[in-house]
């Protein structure tokens, strides 16, 4: 029987648990220091067993997943090293920064136990174990950052285990990982927060900014609503990479300042052209660090029960609706309903289903 212990059974930890729970010869144990959280895990049937005891959780464990905030990873590894772990046990994490924990673990982990850094590059606009799904990692990259000297046999063991999540496992150096993820995820989060706060400042003297900042502005800054405490740990942990990235970002902005100062229309066109060319080459349907949402827009009359009718139609066809928003709804004027889905297939099916009774826009 293969035992998997998971510390921090939220969105990521819970989704990992669901990938293994119920499989032949697997048992999944969840850990939380909070007794109420343990009760919730058992009630939601996410794990086979749950406990507040670290020793009980890791007793006989073949694999230990640390799904706790980045700032707590080193502390957890230190605590685990005080416990009698099974020989050959693999400890891995799911943090979005890798260099610091990988280097730290090299000095902490005892002989006969292996630490292999991990980062599933998938997420959701929702948080907590309530949002956990066994499908979260499908078609996503799952990055492993084994330290030098880690036996290939152990890397292969973890790789085979992770293939059950239906993710694509790739191996990358820890520092290279932090450079890349800093650019494609951490930096965009900083930019989104800074942009929203800039507009918030303008809004203090003119509330029209907030009123008009719907649609596109809200969409491109969606990640500014990410969990503050989690991002505090990530950004501080990866600060050296981000300081360089922000210097490079300032150079890009300076280029636009110069183009505008010189009224260089051709230069502006060229910047948009090369950006569009590169963006068109990016994978469209692979999951990534920043969660994709696939939206359709439905013109609806302002009648009682209309939203319920639409959600019932989708539910009857087992189309999973991720989010719903009324953009505008006034008496005698059609409202606009934005329906968000986690994948293009569901969005396409919903569009076809609703085209009959309603006017649908993509």
Residues 6+ apart with CB under 8 A from 362: 295, 296, 297, 347, 351
Report the number of distinct structural domains present in the chain: 3
- Whether residue 263 sits in one domain with residue 167: no
Domain range for 81 is 2-172
- Whether residue 119 sits in one domain with residue 64: yes
The single residue listed with the structure tokens 């990530």 is 234
Residue 340: inside a domain: yes
Alpha-carbon distance of 35 to 278, in angstroms, equals 49
Residue 286: inside a domain: no
At residue 175, the 3 state secondary structure works out as helix
- Whether residue 221 sits in one domain with residue 78: no
Q: How many residues are present in the chain?
A: 362
- Whether residue 24 sits in one domain with residue 163: yes
- Whether residue 108 sits in one domain with residue 195: no
Residue 220: inside a domain: yes
Alpha-carbon distance of 208 to 280, in angstroms, equals 34
pLDDT (0 to 100) of residue 331? 39
Residue 50: inside a domain: yes
- Whether residue 134 sits in one domain with residue 80: yes
pLDDT (0 to 100) of residue 249? 98
CATH number, position 194: 1.10.3660.10
- Whether residue 157 sits in one domain with residue 19: yes
pLDDT (0 to 100) of residue 318? 83
Residue 288: inside a domain: no
pLDDT (0 to 100) of residue 273? 96
- Whether residue 116 sits in one domain with residue 50: yes
CATH number, position 50: 3.40.50.720
* Cβ atoms 358, 299 nearer than 8 A: yes
| Residue 296, token pair as written in the block | 């359709």
pLDDT (0 to 100) of residue 332? 40
State the virtual CA torsion across 195, 197, 200, 205 in degrees, nearest 10.
-100
pLDDT (0 to 100) of residue 289? 54
- Whether residue 323 sits in one domain with residue 257: no
- Whether residue 132 sits in one domain with residue 8: yes
From first to last of its 362 residues, what are the pLDDT tens digits of the chain? 999 999 999 999 999 999 999 999 999 999 999 999 999 999 999 999 999 999 999 999 999 999 999 999 999 999 999 999 999 999 999 999 999 999 999 999 999 999 999 999 987 656 788 888 888 898 889 999 999 889 999 999 999 999 999 999 999 999 999 999 999 999 999 999 999 999 999 999 999 999 888 767 888 898 898 889 999 999 999 999 999 999 999 999 999 999 999 999 999 999 999 999 999 998 765 555 555 567 787 877 666 777 888 888 888 888 878 777 766 543 344 457 778 876 777 888 888 888 877 777 65
- Whether residue 165 sits in one domain with residue 66: yes
């Amino acid at each position: 029987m293969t035992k998997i212990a998971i510390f921090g059974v939220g969105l990521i930890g819970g989704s990992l648990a669901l990938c293994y729970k119920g499989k032949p010869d697997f048992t999944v144990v969840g850990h939380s220091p909070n007794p109420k959280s343990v009760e919730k895990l058992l009630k939601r049937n996410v794990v086979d067993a749950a406990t507040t005891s670290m020793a009980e959780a890791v007793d006989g464990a073949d694999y230990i997943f640390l799904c706790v905030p980045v700032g707590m990873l080193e502390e957890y590894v230190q605590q685990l090293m005080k416990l009698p772990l099974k020989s050959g046990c693999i400890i891995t994490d799911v943090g979005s920064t890798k260099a610091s924990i990988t280097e730290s673990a090299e000095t902490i982990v005892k002989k006969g136990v292996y630490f292999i850094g991990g980062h599933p590059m998938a997420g959701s606009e929702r948080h907590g174990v309530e949002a956990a799904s066994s499908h979260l990692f499908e078609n996503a990259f799952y990055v492993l950052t084994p330290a030098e000297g880690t036996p290939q046999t152990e890397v292969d063991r973890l790789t085979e285990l992770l293939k059950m999540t239906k993710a694509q496992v790739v191996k990358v150096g820890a520092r290279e990982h932090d450079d890349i993820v800093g650019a494609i995820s951490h930096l965009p989060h900083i930019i989104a927060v800074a942009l929203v706060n800039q507009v918030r400042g303008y809004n203090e003297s003119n509330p029209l900014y907030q009123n008009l900042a719907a649609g596109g502005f809200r969409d491109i800054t969606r990640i500014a609503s990410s969990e503050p405490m989690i991002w505090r740990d990530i950004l501080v942990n990866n600060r050296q990479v981000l300081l360089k990235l922000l210097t490079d970002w300032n150079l890009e902005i300076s280029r636009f300042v110069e183009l505008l100062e010189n009224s260089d229309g051709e230069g502006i066109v060229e910047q948009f052209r090369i950006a569009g060319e590169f963006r068109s080459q990016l994978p469209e349907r692979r999951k990534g660090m920043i969660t994709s949402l696939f939206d359709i827009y439905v013109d609806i009359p302002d009648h009682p029960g209309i939203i319920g009718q639409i959600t019932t139609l989708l539910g009857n066809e087992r189309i999973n609706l991720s989010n719903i928003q009324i953009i505008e709804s006034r008496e005698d004027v059609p409202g606009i309903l934005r329906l968000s889905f986690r994948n293009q297939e569901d969005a396409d099916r919903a569009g076809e289903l609703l085209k009959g009774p309603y006017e649908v826009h993509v």
